[in-house]
Structure 1
Amino acid sequence: MEGNRQDLMKLIQTRFPRLSKGQKIIAEYILKHYDKAAFMTAAKLGQTVGVSESTVVRFANELGFSGYPTLQKELQELIKNKLTSVQRIEISNDLIDEENPLRSVLKADIENIRVTLEKINANVFEDVVEEILKAKRIYIVGFRSSQAIVEFLGFYLNLILDNVRVVSRGVSDIFEQLLRVGEGDLVIGISFPRYSSRTVEALKFSKDRNAKVVAITDSLLSPLASHADFTLIAQSNMVSFVDSLVAPLSLINALIVAVGCKEKEVISETFRTLENIWEEYGVYANRSKNNND
């Protein structure tokens, strides 16, 4: 990824002499502040450096991009895994309407789901469902903020299947938990920028032992993808220091439902048993009883 960044920076430097005066100002700003420029609209970038929006668009064209959004996407792909939380907060000043953060965040999450729906490969999705159903053992791996959706996936798959294990940080190391992984097993790794190095290592470990590997991540350029047999893409563009996991969770919901549709009889029997257990042990609050209090 660092090499890709240097390639883009080198491209800007190579084209610099032929740029117009206004375009050179843009180039200098990007070379110094590419982390901030990546999340600015063309209008905002132009306003920041003192040129018109059309000059920004022509600058992108001069570099060989079809438009500014393509250049912006390239910059985002290059730097999003390198941003610290402090940098995210600084950038969020340009992305969030501080008067209405609710609207800003929800709109961004809606866009993440929309892009995910466009990007997702339906055939790969179906292949992953089949791999889940035929796997001897299923291990689900993911740390940091992704741990929440790892637990969610593990919780529901455990209701459908009896061979699911969530790999977690605890007394035993992750490699000890993956000790017996091998051919016939399936390992599902989940991570989004900033990618967890432990998750990447777990997928490499599993792949080296001939297990099938599924990566749920944000891009085919993700370090998880290089160790995966199947990669499911979910958009996770952040708005601030908080990772946006709305689209990844929606994708995982779809996976659970798809597996459930293949195991309808098992699910029906499981939930009939669970309902009796929940009732007997008062797992859920009794609404009618509460109303009478």
Structure 2
Amino acid sequence: MPTPQQARAQASAITSGKAAPEAEAAPVSQIRSLFDRPRMSPGHRRIAQYLIEHLPEAAFLSVTEIADRVGVSQPSVTRFAAAMGFSGYPALREKLQSIALGTFSGTPDENQGNELQSAVDAEIENLENLRRDFADPDQVIAAGRELAGSTPLTVLGLRISASLAEYFAYAARRIHPDVRLVTRGGSIAYDALLQSRAAGGSWVLAFSMPRHAQETLAAVKVARDAGLRVALVTDLALGAVADAADVTFATGTGSRLVFDSYAAPGLMAAALLQAMTDADPERTQGRLEEYEQISEQHQFFLRD
């Protein structure tokens, strides 16, 4: 086992192109896959990014040095190691050292790209997975029919999931006569859900993206107890919120950057909207034509 000084020197030789010819090159995906967790907090993402971008040096730093360089507390680094499945930071560091000394060479992987390109690649993979799921569209079509038939239709999205819910509700109002958007949790959400049920609503479309809010689970349970059925768009088919829903559409989120990106969930939302339009084409056509007349009359949009 090399001393820390020898290990640092060996890592430096590797990254400067002086590694032994027999050193085995490996894609950067090996280190990225170690930290590929969809539910990491922004603080944990920052630590992971630093370790990925500075691996040859970071693999030999102490927990205190890592905390100082990332700008987080020492306990945050320790909790990060535990969240990644290690017994502590020393075990994580040992793994990082084995990768730094055993798989990285001075020859860059031309296909790897930079951090932003890697994030795009991850989203492409999510979209490809969604494309395979759409090979059998029956569940989406059936859900669209149920959502179109629920009057009112409630759309729920709390905390970071609110943006997806707002997009869906904005579009759904063009084709559905009564769409009710809920983006605040607690008793406000409960009141809205109970009113929707009392008004004759039968379905709720909920969005739950990482990090999943306790308020979302509570609201879904209230909806179910009130007699509403719940269709859920989320990142994983397993979990407490998915277990509480009637129908779950699981689509991957982009987790390569500090904050998630939602290419696949956004497309899933658009697919459900399409299914709603197809479920009642006459109503869809009539409402869209009426909206076009109103938007033209009041000049909602700039002329192309």
Give TM-score, length-normalised by structure 1.
0.65
Instruction: Report the 3-state secondary structure (helix = DSSP H, G, I; strand = E; otherwise coil) of the residue aligned with 2:155.
Output: strand
CA-based RMSD: 3.2
Runs of 4+ in 1 over 4 A off after TM superposition: 51-54, 93-99
Instruction: Report the 3-state secondary structure (helix = DSSP H, G, I; strand = E; otherwise coil) of the residue aligned with 1:161.
Output: coil
Unaligned runs of 5+ in 1: 1-20, 22-50, 55-67, 288-293
CA contact (8 A) 2:151 2:177 kept: no
1:93-131 per-position Cα deviation (integer Å, ceiling 9, x unaligned): 466899734422222211111122334663322221121
Counterpart of 1:85, as a letter, is: P
C-alpha distance in 2 between matches for 1:151 and 1:141: 9
**Residue 110 of structure 1 is aligned with which of 124, 130, 135?**
124
> What's the counterpart of residue 180 of structure 2?
165
Alpha carbons of structure 1 residues 192 and 95: separation in structure 2 relative to 1, 3 Å: farther
Report the CA distance between 1:204 and its aligned residue: 0.7
Counterpart of 1:161, as a letter, is: H
Alpha carbons of structure 1 residues 279 and 206: separation in structure 2 relative to 1, 3 Å: same
> What's the counterpart of residue 256 of structure 2?
239
1:53-88 per-position Cα deviation (integer Å, ceiling 9, x unaligned): 99xxxxxxxxxxxxx9xxx79x96xx643x221111
**Residue 191 of structure 1 is aligned with which of 181, 196, 208?**
208
> What's the counterpart of residue 48 of structure 2?
91
> What's the counterpart of residue 20 of structure 2?
none
> What's the counterpart of residue 286 of structure 2?
269
Instruction: Report the 3-state secondary structure (helix = DSSP H, G, I; strand = E; otherwise coil) of the residue aligned with 2:173.
Output: helix
Alpha carbons of structure 1 residues 267 and 123: separation in structure 2 relative to 1, 3 Å: closer
> What's the counterpart of residue 129 of structure 1?
144
Counterpart of 2:270, as a letter, is: N
Alpha carbons of structure 1 residues 199 and 160: separation in structure 2 relative to 1, 3 Å: same
Alpha carbons of structure 1 residues 114 and 95: separation in structure 2 relative to 1, 3 Å: farther
C-alpha distance in 2 between matches for 1:198 and 1:170: 6
Alpha carbons of structure 1 residues 52 and 200: separation in structure 2 relative to 1, 3 Å: farther
Q: Give the aligned length.
A: 218
C-alpha distance in 1 between matches for 2:205 and 2:218: 13
**Residue 224 of structure 2 is aligned with which of 202, 207, 222?**
207
C-alpha distance in 1 between matches for 2:41 and 2:116: 23
Counterpart of 2:217, as a letter, is: V
Counterpart of 2:292, as a letter, is: E
Counterpart of 2:176, as a letter, is: L
Report the CA distance between 1:279 and its aligned residue: 2.0
Report the CA distance between 1:236 and its aligned residue: 1.0
**Residue 179 of structure 1 is aligned with which of 183, 194, 197?**
194
C-alpha distance in 1 between matches for 2:271 and 2:230: 19
Alpha carbons of structure 1 residues 119 and 95: separation in structure 2 relative to 1, 3 Å: farther
CA contact (8 A) 2:254 2:263 kept: no
Rg bigger for which structure? 2
CA contact (8 A) 1:119 1:233 kept: no
Residue identity over aligned pairs, in percent, reads: 23
C-alpha distance in 2 between matches for 1:187 and 1:227: 12
Query: Which is bigger in relative contact order (C-alpha 8 A, separation at least 6)?
Result: 2
Alpha carbons of structure 1 residues 132 and 280: separation in structure 2 relative to 1, 3 Å: same
